[in-house]
Amino acid sequence: MIAAVAVIAGIALLFGLALGFAAVRFRTEGDPVVDRIDALLPQTQCGQCSFAGCRPYAEAIAAGTADINRCPPGGEATIRALADLLERDPKPLDPESGEIKPRTVAVIDEPLCIGCTLCIQACPVDAILGAGKQMHTVIASECTGCELCVAPCPVDCIAMVEEPVTLKTWKWPRPAEPLAAERR
């Protein structure tokens, strides 16, 4: 009888140690669903979705407090990807969030720049370089086109320019929906 209790206690101890090791070894930081949603978002950190950035928006989607159709920079492709991931029906972009526009990049008219650094402070992705009382410039490859740098500029030297279409940025246009008469 004592031998049976000792064997069961030994097995329980062994399984307890194995579960403890697995809990430490295979622990996930954060919510993997939030990570997958965040990976689908464009990482513009523009705030057009009414959240402070893409990660808080992803957390709200995962919690069910925000809808999947509030990201204008991501456009229809992001809405469809989120719908597929979360097994929901895709929706058109929420008009309160903005409108889907072609990708733009900030361009600073450098001779007009007074070096106030307000645009640097407003840029959520640090795509603007410069120093106080010095000319600023935009790193085009880092600019997300969020337009947050335009409003604070006191001399209106920042313009949003549509990004030129290249082989990397061109996308097939979506086919037109058939008319109701054609479906019959």
Number of Cα atoms under 13 Å in the Cβ half of residue 181 = 0
Give me the domain span that covers residue 122: 104-162
How far apart are the C-alpha atoms of 31 and 39, rounded to whole Å? Answer: 13
Work out the pLDDT band at 41, boundaries 50, 70, 90.
very high
- Indicate whether 140 and 90 sit together in one domain: no
The conformation of residue 104, written as its DSSP 8-state character, comes to E
On whether residue 167 sits in a domain, the answer given is no
- Indicate whether 145 and 125 sit together in one domain: yes
Q: Quick check: 83 pLDDT over 70?
A: yes
The b-or-e profile of 3-23 (16+ CB within 10 A means b, else e) is eeeeeeeeeeeeeeeeeeeee
pLDDT over 70 percentage in the chain: 90
On whether residue 172 sits in a domain, the answer given is no
Q: Which residue has the higher pLDDT, 136 or 184?
A: 136
On whether residue 175 sits in a domain, the answer given is no
On whether residue 174 sits in a domain, the answer given is no
- Indicate whether 36 and 83 sit together in one domain: yes
Distances in Å between the alpha carbon of 130 and those of 98, 118, 142, 146, 155?
Answer: 30, 11, 15, 19, 16
- Indicate whether 49 and 93 sit together in one domain: yes
Query: For the chain, how many structural domains are there in total?
Result: 3
pLDDT in tens, 102-151: 888 999 998 999 999 999 999 988 999 988 888 889 998 888 888 899 99
- Indicate whether 43 and 64 sit together in one domain: yes
Q: What is the pLDDT of residue 120?
A: 94
Mean pLDDT of 81-99: 91
Q: What is the pLDDT of residue 155?
A: 95
- Indicate whether 45 and 84 sit together in one domain: yes
- Indicate whether 116 and 93 sit together in one domain: no
On whether residue 170 sits in a domain, the answer given is no
Q: Which residue has the higher pLDDT, 18 or 183?
A: 18
- Indicate whether 18 and 38 sit together in one domain: no
